[in-house]
Amino acid sequence: MATQVIVVNGGSSSGKSGIVRCLQEVLPDPWLSFGIDSLVEAMPGSGTGIEFAPDGEVNVGPEFRSLQKAWMTGIAAMVRGGARVIVDDVFLGGPGSQDGWREALTGLEVLWVGVRCDARVAAGREIVRGDRVRGMAEQQAELVHKGVIYDLEVDTTHTEALDCARAIAAHVA
């Protein structure tokens, strides 16, 4: 069966979004992309159960998890409807986060991709971006990968997004 979903997991400022944009250009068929940042932006300003601490730690509560589960279910429904989808996520819950996607994507052909980046390099990107709480990149660099099982890993510390995208595309059936 052909790959229907590519789930890309990595810490903040690791380069996931750039890789996803490049993937959309190098893959032969049209692929939609959905990122956790868009879900967070779509939520109301208060009462959503997500909190960004001054040190970069991100805490999520039951309200956020409930909305996230609905979001995942919706993405899976689009795939079941015939769309091919790339998901850009940050597995703050490690294997528990992956399990949530596994449940939503049951029966679909998924390519699991880990995007790694040295914490110092990601922290530098975070400063340049200017749209993140400082410290988030360092907090997440290793945390999001603990206990997660991938089909493929790429490292953006010294590799450009396009090269990473080409490596991922080579694994898409």
Cα 123 to Cα 112: distance, rounded to the nearest angstrom:
24
What are the φ and ψ backbone dihedral angles of 8, each rounded to 5 degrees? -105, 120
Side chain identity, residue 166: R
22-54: pLDDT as tens digits: 999 999 999 999 999 999 989 887 657 888 888
pLDDT for the residue 54: 86
Side-chain-side CA neighbours of residue 124 (13 Å): 6
37 is catalytic: yes
pLDDT for the residue 52: 85
54-71: pLDDT as tens digits: 888 889 889 999 999 999
Catalytic residue among 29, 37, 118, 155: 37
Side-chain-side CA neighbours of residue 99 (13 Å): 6
> Shortest CA distance to 124 belongs to which of 10, 8, 5, 13?
13
Side chain identity, residue 133: V
Q: Percent of the chain having pLDDT more than 90?
A: 83
